Structure 1
Amino acid sequence: MPTQTKPMFKVSDQPILVMLVALPLVAWGLERLVESAQPDLRLMGSVSSVADSLSSMGQRTPDVVVVDLDGEQGAESLGLLHSKTSARILAVTGSPHEVLHDEAVIAGARGVVNKRDVDAAQNLLKAIEKVHRGEIWIDRNATSRIFLELVRRRSSQVQHPEKQKIASLTRRELQALTTLASDPGSSSREVAEKLFISENTLRNHVTSIYSKLGLANRVDLYAFAQRNGLT
């Protein structure tokens, strides 16, 4: 993503306070981009995880938090951020997969900027301004897909209580659930390796799965998966 692109807008007399959530290499480029847009934007800080962003906000909340979905936290972390802060959330990713983009919006992002777009840098600056004003940064096709997905989830909630719980899982949590249930004897390290994530990330997924499904342990998880054809 280019880092020396001047914004084409004047937002207000007060700069938009921006916090970045990205791994160091990506954060470096995003920092340069936000700094190039001064005085319209002001970089409030840069951290590597959503958890770090929440702990570092302190008494002052940013106007917009830009989250790189290509970091380990993924789209599922946006739900936590959305529930804990009044800041507007904007996601960036290099992934072309529409499912990831849609999940980010459903989780609380006001829009998704693709880092691979030709005008990615300028688009990000424009998107920051728009979400700060209360608008969204998604195209019409995405709006339609998200609406249909929300209808599908609502329908599953009406049909069966356990289907409702399954629909509350993120894509990665569902992958973790099916992997765990498919091999009850596997260790956490083996499951994490299959999913290409760290054991710490797997533990976070499992904690969230237990909470959402109302489970106490791995035996309960296996039984739940068996009942719902998830093994």
Structure 2
Amino acid sequence: MSDSKECIRVALVGPQITCWGLQQLVQSSPRFSLVGSAPSLSTCMQGAWPAAADVVVVDFDDSEELPTLLDFLGVCAARLVLLTAMTEVAALDGAVLKGLQGIVRKSEPPGVLLKAIEKVHQGELWIDRGSTSRIFVEMLRQKAARNDDPELARIATLTQRERQAIAALASDTSAPGKVIASRLCISEHTLRNHLSSIYSKLEVSNRVDLYAFATRHHLDKPQLRAT
């Protein structure tokens, strides 16, 4: 992880007027140093690029730009954050799976972009909770397909709420269902329904088996940070 006090070198890619606004935002904090800008990813791919950047903020809303973004990911050593109003979640999820480290919606307050730059620089992903869940499942699906691992394939069928329940149960094996349900802000009845579904999907028969399965596959760990 990068030193939290290190000045983060930021480069911008986008229309001139957008880059001007982003420049004012980035330069408003001593945590960041602007090292350059470019009008488009195509320009960057032609070699007009400040190589010293730690994080690159790319601004576009057209999904047709995504292939160029993926090409740029392959040649750019910096971490990338996409600032966008795109709604094509499958395309954005695919970009994250191929190396995009952050997505910030244009509807978010300006401070969110600065926070995203900082967290991405520290090696974290910056994506919303819905994307985190979908991408996690897709990563498991792809890994299971590569390895032909039936247990990973079963994990990929879990919902986000079921994974949260597993993590809560595995982190405190002695806690009664009432306590676990309270921590998850659900009723005991809902927790029992989750457990029934989890046992069926993972092919385990009780909490002891579930704990063993969860620790073996790191399902007892917190999920990736999400916005």
Structure 2-normalised TM-score? Answer: 0.55
Deviation, structure 1 residue 51: 3.4
Specify which of 14, 20, 44 is matched with residue 22 of structure 1.
14
Matched residue type, 1:35: Q
Q: Percent identity?
A: 38
Deviation, structure 1 residue 52: 2.2
SS in 1 for 2:27: helix
Deviation, structure 1 residue 152: 5.3
Correspondence for 1:214 = none
After superposition, where does 1:122-137 map in structure 2 within 5 Å?
A: 122-137=111-126
SS in 2 for 1:66: strand
The question of 1:96 aligning with 2:87 is answered: yes
Say if 1:152 and 1:35 are closer, same or farther in 2 by CA, change over 3 A.
same
- The number of equivalent residue pairs is 145
Correspondence for 2:97 = 106
Say if 1:153 and 1:69 are closer, same or farther in 2 by CA, change over 3 A.
farther
Correspondence for 1:147 = 136
SS in 2 for 1:99: helix
Deviation, structure 1 residue 85: 2.0
User: 1:140-196 CA distances to partner (integer Å, 9 max, x unpaired)?
Assistant: 3212211333455667889xxxxxxxxxxxxxxxxxxxxxxxxxxxxxxxxxxxxxx
Q: Please say if residues 19 and 45 of structure 1, whose CA atoms lie closer than 8 Å, have aligned partners that are also in contact.
A: yes
Structure 1-normalised TM-score? Answer: 0.54
SS in 2 for 1:36: coil
Matched residue type, 1:65: V
Say if 1:24 and 1:44 are closer, same or farther in 2 by CA, change over 3 A.
same
In 1, distance between residues paired with 2:64 and 2:21?
A: 19
Deviation, structure 1 residue 100: 3.7
User: 1:50-79 CA distances to partner (integer Å, 9 max, x unpaired)?
Assistant: 232351336x43100111132586222222
After superposition, where does 1:153-172 map in structure 2 within 5 Å?
A: none
CA RMSD of aligned residues (A): 2.8
User: 1:6-56 CA distances to partner (integer Å, 9 max, x unpaired)?
Assistant: xxxx942x421111111223222212211222x211111111222323513
Runs of 5+ consecutive residues of structure 2 not aligned to the other structure: 148-227
The question of 1:34 aligning with 2:26 is answered: yes
SS in 1 for 2:17: helix
Correspondence for 2:68 = 77
Runs of 5+ consecutive residues of structure 1 not aligned to the other structure: 1-9, 159-231
Correspondence for 2:43 = 52
Say if 1:133 and 1:155 are closer, same or farther in 2 by CA, change over 3 A.
closer
Say if 1:104 and 1:29 are closer, same or farther in 2 by CA, change over 3 A.
farther
After superposition, where does 1:179-198 map in structure 2 within 5 Å?
A: none
In 1, distance between residues paired with 2:57 and 2:43?
A: 13
Q: Please say if residues 101 and 124 of structure 2, whose CA atoms lie closer than 8 Å, have aligned partners that are also in contact.
A: yes
Q: Please say if residues 19 and 43 of structure 1, whose CA atoms lie closer than 8 Å, have aligned partners that are also in contact.
A: yes
